[in-house]
A and B are shown apart, each in its own frame.
Chain A
Amino acid sequence: MQSNQTFADLFRSRGVSRRDFLKFCSLTAVYLGLSPSLAPSIVEAMENKPRTPVLWIHGLECTCCSESFIRSSHPTIENLLFNMISLDYDDVLSAAAGHQLEAVRKKIMKDYKGKYILAVEGNVSTRDDGVYCMVGGDSFLNILKETAADAAAIIAWGTCASFGCVQNAAPNPSGAAPVSDIIKDKPIVKVPGCPPISEVMTGVIAHFHTFGTLPELDRFGRPKAFYNTRIHDKCYRRAFFDAGMFVTSFDDEATRKGWCLYKMGCKGPTTYNSCSKIQWNGGTSFPIGSGHPCIGCSEPNFWDKGPFYGRLAEVPFLGSDSNADKIGMVAVGAAAVGAAAHAAVTAVQKAKSDKPGNDKA
C-alpha cells in the first residue's frame, strides 16, 4: 500500500502530463459546482495531501454502483480517480480474498482510526440478526457497525444504501434498511441513484479529499451540487412540456419527434439528480435522451410509488385498482348520494309534518 503517495505523485508515475492533471482538477471543480477560483484548492490538495483511505463494503446490492464508478467518463482519469482514493478494501474488486483481505480491513481500521472513509454499497438486512446477507462469515449488519465505528464519514452509494431500493420494497422480506437507519452517529452523505452517475461519485470523493469535509447536503442528505435540481428543470425536452406537446404512445409521431414523456409516466418532474446535466457514459445520453421516461431511481422508495409508465400512482392501501381520482370520484359520488338520501328523508318528514294537526315545521 502506497498510502502516503499524493495524487500528483501518482499522476506523474502514470505518465500523465501536468496539463492533463490541471484539466482534471478544473473539470472536477466544475462538476462540484465550485467557482473557478477554487480549482487551485483542488490542485493543491491533489498535490500535497496524502490519499484518503477508503474502505468499500458491499451489502445487499447488485454491484451496479461499482459498475458505474469504474466507467467514469475519461479512460485515463477513470483509472487515476480509481487510484486516487487509495481504495484499500473492496471485496468485489480486490485481487485478494478471504482472511487476507479481512486482515487488511482490520489493519486500515486500526492504522487510520477516525480518518478513513467508509463507502457502503447496498443496504443492510436486519431481520433474523441479518442472516440474509453474510460477508466473510459474519452478518453484513455486524460488519457495517464494526467498520463504521472508527470512520471519519460514510458515503452511502446508490439508492440501496441511501434510501433502500428494490430490496426494501414492500413487503421487504429480509428487513432491508438503508445505512442511515443503522448508523446514527456518523456524518453520512447519500449518493442515490440506481446506479449513481460516476462523475457524481468521484466528485463527492474529490470534495472530501480537497476540503476534508462532506459537501453541502440537502434535506435528504444528498450533495446539493448534484441533487439540487430536478431532472425536469434541466431536461432538454422541457420546451415540449411547457408547450403541452406530449408523447402519448411509444410508437406515435410525437415519439419520433422527441416530445415530452410526461404522459408516459416520466418521473423527471419529481426526481432530483444530475442525469439531464452531466448525463451518462461521458455525456453520451441519459434515459430521457433515449426516449424512455425517467423512473425516478434516485428518489426514496421509488419501487413502491406506483407504475413506471403512468402519472397517477395507484394507492397501495386501498386495493390494487384504486388511484387518487377513483377514490376522489367515489367520495364525490358518496357525498351526492348521501345528500340525495338526506333530501328524500327531509321531504318525507316535511310532508308528514305539513299535514293538518302538526303545528311545527
Chain B
Amino acid sequence: MGRIIEEIYVWRLPVRFYHWINALCMVALFATGMYIAAPVLNPALGEAVWHKGMGWWRYLHFAFAFIFIANFLFRLYWALFGGDKYARFGGFRPWSAAWWGKPFREQVESYLFLRSDEPNYVGHNPVAALAHFIFIFCGSTFMIFSGLAMYGENNPGGFNSAWFGWLIPLFGGSYSLHFTHHLFAWIFPVYVIMHLYAVFRHDIVDRTSVTSSIITGYKHKVEEEPG
C-alpha cells in the first residue's frame, strides 16, 4: 500500500449527518412500509383496545417520513446555498451536451472495463452524480409527493390534501397511487446494493478511503507504487 500523500476534507459535517440520517430513514421507511402493506404479526384474540399493532407501524412510518423530508429539504438547501464545493449541484448539468462528453464517457468506459485507468474524482464522479440524481433526488421526490398525497387522505381538505392531493387523479385513483408508491419503494434497496458495491470497489481499486470518508470526512490520495 502506498504512502498517503494528501488528506482532503471532502464531506463536511452537515453532509455526513445528512447521509446517515437518510440511510437510517430509508431502512426504517422500507421496513415499516413493507409491514404496512403486509402486516404479518397478528395479536392473540382479545379486545382491540389493548392493541396498537398497525397504529404503531403507521406512526413510525409517518414519523420517519417527516424526518426524511426535513433531511431532504436540508440537503437541497445545503446544495444550493451551503457554498460547499463537493456537495453542491453546480457541476451537474445533464441538460447540456458537454456534461455527457469526455468525463462522463471516460467514467462509463472505466466501469465497463474498456479502459485500464480509473478517472479519479475527489467528489462524486459524473456517473455517480447521475445515479444520485435518478435514485435519490427523483426517487425521494416521488416518494415524498406520493406519500404526502396519501397522508392527506386522512384529512380531506387539509393542507396535504390540498397541496398534494392532485396526485391521486393523476395516477387514476388512490389504489393506483398506493401501488405505485409501493412499487417505487424497491428502487431504494436496489440503489443501496449498487451504492455499497461502488463504494467498496472504489476503495479497493483507487485506495481513496472513500468508505471511511463518510464517517471521518477525509479522503486520501496515495502514492502510486511501482508494481
Contacts and interface: CB of A to CB of B under 8 A. Distances in A.
Interface string A4-31: 0000000000000000000000000000
B91 interface: no
Given A300-B172, A332-B186, A245 B205 contact: no
A361 B190 contact: no
B189 A245 contact: no
Given A219-B166, A355-B227, A358-B227, 6 more contacts: A243-B55, A244-B57, A262-B39, A329-B186, A343-B201, A345-B113
Given A219-B165, A327-B183, A339-B197, A245 B48 contact: yes
Interface string A50-68: 0000000000000000000
- How big is chain B's contact interface, by range? 35 or more
Given A230-B174, A328-B189, A243 B43 contact: yes
Contacts of B84: none
Give the top 4 A-B pairs by smallest Cβ distance, nearest first: A244-B53, A328-B186, A339-B197, A243-B51
Interface residues on A, range: 35 or more
B173 A331 contact: no
A268 B178 CA distance: 13
Contacts, number: 147
A358 B225 CA distance: 11
A115 interface: no
Contact of A245 (B37, B51, B111): B51
With a 10 A CB-CB cut-off, give which of B43, B52, B54 has the most chain A CB atoms.
Answer: B54
Contacts of B50: 243
B173 A300 contact: yes
Given A230-B174, A270-B178, A305-B175, A246 B39 contact: yes
Interface centre among A269, A301, A315, A324, by most chain B C-beta atoms within 10 angstroms, is A324
Interface in A220-258: 220, 224, 228-230, 233, 239-246, 248, 253-254, 257
Contact of B48 (A230, A239, A355, A360): A239
A346 B227 contact: no
Contact of A324 (B39, B182, B224, B226): B182
